[in-house]
Amino acid sequence: MTETLTATYRVVTPLFMSGADQSRAELRLPSIKGALRFWWRALAWERLGGDLEQIRRQEAELFGSTDTGQAGVLMRLRAPEVTQLSKGVVLKDGGRVVGEGARYLGYGVMEAFASRNKGTQEGQLTRACLAAPFDFTLQVCFKPNLTPKQRDGIVDALKLLGTVGALGSKARKGYGSLVLKEYQDGEKVWQAPQDIIAIKEELEKLKSEFKLRTDKPPYTAFSRESKILLVEGEVSQSPLELLNRIGREMVFYRSWGNNGKVFDQNAEQNFPDDHDLMKAIASGGTSSVSIEHPERVAFGLPHNYFFSSTKDKAEVKAVDATNPRNPTAIERRASPLQIHIHQIGDTPIAVLTFLPSQFLPANAKIRLIGKQQKVVSVDTSNNLWQPIHEFFERMKNVRGQPHLQRKEDFGRVVEVRYA
């Protein structure tokens, strides 16, 4: 007899998801399955001892493949009609244009700034989205041949999706954030944690079966180097406003600024070697810095540079060093730092999840592109992730070091470690 679990989720930030018709936003079951599969795989590396063949086999059994046939887990989506925000509409939060930090995190789906030349406004959507908040229900049917551990793995992935995960474009930047409100599994009813400490305890339960391997996972997954930071917002603060403050804090930390300013405040300019290296690449000049590539590649690739003083541009991409005929075959490396906005009652909580893994495939290098070009190997030392570790320390508001002190106001900050 097939067993069924019913999970209720709430989407708390605008969701950018479309099907074949890109002009229309919609909640799609295949995308939900894909997100669930992602979080199952993230847990499987530790639980299955890094055995990639076993991970692939169990994933195929649970989610289906051309070799194994139908999935061992079937799903059905029930969702209401949701308000559409069309392309060209200005995204607002409580009647005001969404803040610059949230616009920064929404790069690619909305305009960060107004442009007279393009005739656009700040916060204007460049693709449609579903307005938040809204709820939907996911029915999950387990075939009777699944083992208890396989079933538990799916349940944990469902909880993880609704505690640290999101759906759609910009999911790693806090948009489309999902909160698992509750699930009913037979007579058992699970309800969401009701404060920041309860969330921490729920996330710590995940490592009960972890083997805490010392080698880096070859894909995005939990390991002993993973950690999660829970950052509490203010009572009655909107999820978008908390996302805005997280985005602002990230820009203060990462950005060199424009004419020495970031959001009308003096720029901190925390990465001078990155600036000098890429300015030389953009202009075709020389640089005396010792680094081979920007330290901020740790936040993901590609990323771009624009130097307002000279109007020069540069970009950083990952490339396949073994394929000179198609040197941009890789280009992208998703950020190992994922942002999720949670909601407990009237209080939003930002969940920052750091899942380090192998940074690029063995055949990949980094290409710096400007008036000159340079291809370099990735620095795989322990210092590779230092910018992200320091951002976490900054969010905890470490005293005594200016670049580790926050500019934005937050409530409690709680860390979850997996070592």
Residue 184, exposed/middle/buried by CB under 10 A (0-12, 13-18, 19+)?
A: middle
Q: Is residue 211 part of a domain?
A: no
d(CA 276, CA 290): 10
Whether 314 and 407 map to the same domain: the answer is yes
One-letter identity of residue 114: A
Query: Which of 105, 100, 115 lies closest to 170 in space, CA to CA?
Result: 105
| Torsion of the alpha carbons at 244, 249, 254 and 258, rounded to the nearest 10 | 70
pLDDT tens per residue across span 158-178: 999 999 999 999 999 999 999
One-letter identity of residue 88: G
Q: What is the pTM of this model?
A: 0.95
Query: Which of 18, 180, 174, 11 lies closest to 98 in space, CA to CA?
Result: 174
One-letter identity of residue 132: A
Whether 157 and 305 map to the same domain: the answer is no
What confidence category does residue 47 fall into, taking pLDDT thresholds of 50, 70 and 90? very high
pLDDT tens per residue across span 204-242: 999 888 998 888 899 999 999 999 999 999 999 999 999
Structure tokens at 64: 């289906």
Q: How many CB atoms lie within 10 A of CB 171?
A: 24
Q: Is residue 268 part of a domain?
A: yes
Whether 187 and 313 map to the same domain: the answer is no
Whether 320 and 251 map to the same domain: the answer is yes
Q: Is residue 142 part of a domain?
A: yes
Query: Which of 110, 132, 169 lies closest to 343 in space, CA to CA?
Result: 132
Q: Is residue 381 part of a domain?
A: yes
Determine the pLDDT at residue 278: 96
Q: Range of 41's domain?
A: 3-87+127-192
Non-local CB neighbours of 325 within 8 Å, separated by 6+ positions:
none
Q: Is residue 332 part of a domain?
A: yes
d(CA 60, CA 82): 33
Whether 284 and 382 map to the same domain: the answer is yes
Whether 80 and 175 map to the same domain: the answer is yes
- Residue 207 phi/psi, 5-degree rounding, is -85, 5
Whether 134 and 71 map to the same domain: the answer is yes
Number of domains in the chain: 2
The total number of residues written for the chain in this structure: 419
Whether 181 and 273 map to the same domain: the answer is no
Q: Is residue 105 part of a domain?
A: no
Here the CATH number for the domain that contains residue 145 is 3.30.70
pLDDT at position 30 over 90:
yes
Percent of the chain with pLDDT over 90: 80
Tell me whether strands 364-369 and 261-262 are parallel, antiparallel or unpaired. unpaired
d(CA 274, CA 77): 46
**What is the 8-class DSSP label of residue 169?**
B
